[in-house]
Structure 1
Amino acid sequence: MPTLVSSPPRVASSSTVLSTTSGNSAFVFTIPANSDTQQQLIYAFGTTNPESSDASATLQLHLDSGNTQLDLTKPLSSSTDGTSTGDSPSSAPDTAPLTSRQRMIVTHAILCVVGFALLLPVGALLARYLRTTTPTWYTGHWIAQFVISGPVIIAGVAVGFQVTKQAGITIWDDHKKTGVVLLALYLMQCILGAFIHYVKLRNFVGRPPQNYFHAVLGLTIIALGMYQIRTGYKEEWPNFSGLQPVPKGLNTLWLVWCIVLPVLYAGGLLFLRKQYRQEQESRKGR
């Protein structure tokens, strides 16, 4: 994290006369001159105010930043009619277009929400409700959990990594660490599911323990995914997106979904006795 320089060689001062926040906002700063004819400048801007007016207050991630060179030997250019060539305030758009990084943040959010909060729960509920009624339940289950969810989840996490790389973020907070853990657990769950289906322990009496572990791990991934979604819109979005806060109704929707999913899964547990009976009959018929 950059720190405040206690005694900089030059200090920029904002000009309240030339700066404006109406129409196309413009903030003008003056810097004491020196003998250099080539002035090296850096710039950065964002839409989130610091936590205080103190000069050493923590700044949120910038929307954009860069550097430029100002050649003081060149004459100033001006229009021949004395009018501005820029857009007038009345023609300025109400909202600025999303930057490349902001588009990636939105894409990351959509893909991960769809993957962890919709597709994975649908695949789990499909197995919970259909495994006692049709032998093709497994086909639908692995297609939902791997063929459909896999590309969405992996793409969402990959875009998140790309955002971090593009922004030059070197400090990994809990959201980023949890994302890595979630991806690892998801891949492990897919491998475990394939192992359970294709590798049968013929000499084992009763239901194999890996079947229980597979179910518990799947529910853990969904629960952790819901937690990850909340930290995303509660912490990461306001700190790194530079966009307006998410609607308050989103938190209500998240809470409702956190209640609906367990209720739906609990309803499917009513078929457990029938499932165990079918599995026992299947083992006897080997």
Structure 2
Amino acid sequence: NPLFIYGGVGLGKTHLMQAVGHYIHATRPNLRIQNITTEAFVSDVVTSTKENRLFDFSNQFRNTDLLMVDDIQYLENKERTQDIFFQAFNHLHEAQKQIIVTCDRLPKDIPTLTERLKSRLGNGLITDINPPDFETRLAILQKKLEDDKFHLSESVLDYIASTIKTNIRDLEGALNRIEFQASYNGEEITIEFVQKIIHDIAPAQPAGPASPDAIISAVSRHYNIPVEDIKGRCRKKEIVRARHVSMFLIREMTGMTFALVGGLFGKDHSSVITSCDKIEMELERDASLRRDLDSIRARVLQS
């Protein structure tokens, strides 16, 4: 307590949290449950402050047995609201009431979240939801087709599952679009037909090799670290990690030699080899890093 669920957009964080709420309501109907989005919480704080009823607003959370808060990352840069949430959180936690929070990243990765709130959110059970692998994507498509009483060939299903890798929302959206267009036009559903229908949500293919500058810039935006620091000599852990990721992706996406990559960072080729090997090994066991790289690649391809 708290249960902290994090992951990318459209992977089912809200769905899972609400399922917990429904289950508890069904099995323990006497418990008082509150489900609120962080955006609604922020809006209510602003309104309550204007109307001079902030005390009443804060009090409404004190009699809750289960508090579910969606998209906690929207507390970023809102110090006053963070204070009020922290007070409510503390009261419920000390009263041994359950708190469930969803977020698109780890607490430590929300830059302007107060340290005490990061500590509180990170003190419970942190669990991540990963993008579905190929087999899971295929199973989701098959289940939806079964529910919709619709048929697609195995090759078309494989193509969709191997093309839409982002999240479940995009996967189901693609299938809805294909079903509609096929029913409306009466066309045979081939891979070529599907390519036309989902071209705007399928991952874009770069027209040419990505530039090193575009990759470093994407890493900079993703980790919120200045480009100068990534290319500099600072040895802070988070900056070194961003530098290694940049080297790895430049090698992967441009095919530049280790020596040329090293030249961008003032390093020799052996340092780049070591950095790339380190990222390669971490990718095998770190789901969070895999998501980071997928997100950065997408940024580069969209730029």
Pairwise TM-score range, normalised by the shorter structure: under 0.3
Identify, as 1 or 2, the structure richer in helix: 2
TM-score normalised to the size of structure 1?
0.25
Query: Which entry has the higher C-alpha Rg, 1 or 2?
Result: 1
